[in-house]
Amino acid sequence: MLTFVGLGLYDEEDITLKGVRAIKDADMVFAEFYTSKMMGTTIERMESRYQTKITTLSRGEIEADPAWLYHAIDRDVVLLSGGDPMVSTTHIDLRLRASDLGIATVVVHGTSIASAAAGLAGLQNYRFGKSATIPFPYTVRSKTIVSETPYNTVLLNRDNDLHTMLFLDIDPEKGFMAISEAAQLLMQVDERGLLDRALGIGIARAGSPDVVVKCDYIRNLAGSDFGAPMHLLIVPAGLHQMEAEALVRFAGAPDEIIER
């Protein structure tokens, strides 16, 4: 059997009791941290807390050649990941592969940034549209390319009066994208100035004791320092009165948004 266990947002204490029990009952425990990073802990701390050996898998061992999956044919195997497991399509693919091998699967859910971010910002979670990831710029034939996909997603959602959740890129060489860089990239492709008066909500280190939630105009966020990763950016659409008041009170948004 293969059990997917979500670790939650930040450290080894975010896991559910059901998740801890699944780990204790497992014959083998694996973990992957490329779909989501647990910034507040280490493998050593998790092994100490859960009293078990944890083998970390590479991206290739998850996506290209998951040979470890065969252990689950006749043993109880747990795969740990940050957040909630099935938010990642990578894990859905693994579950399908397991099914092809006749392996039963169980999902133990964890706290997801998708729901936590909406709550931290004081936004109504049913008002979110399609999400997107802002990638680092890349070079093609000496030309720097900035993706317009997240920008177009924001405009599409805004046309439907929906908020946009933007995940920020993680790169092995470039590291973690910051909110300031994400805001700069959005402004860079906004040649028509459609985001000149748009708000952004930056969230840093959700689930940690020093979580930061700050709302300001995107152009101002481009110069803001949110500290250590991980970061997330939300571009809200039209605000309900309660949403606006929550952003002013809990995220330092400009008072004028209440009168919008």
Section 81-99 average pLDDT? 92
Q: Which domains does the chain have, with CATH numbers?
A: 2-111 (3.40.1010.10), 114-259 (3.30.950.10)
Question: What is the model's pLDDT at position 44?
Answer: 97
133: burial class by Cβ within 10 Å (0-12, 13-18, 19+)?
Answer: middle
**What confidence tens digit (pLDDT) does each residue in 158-206 have?**
999 999 999 999 988 899 999 999 999 999 999 999 999 999 999 999 9
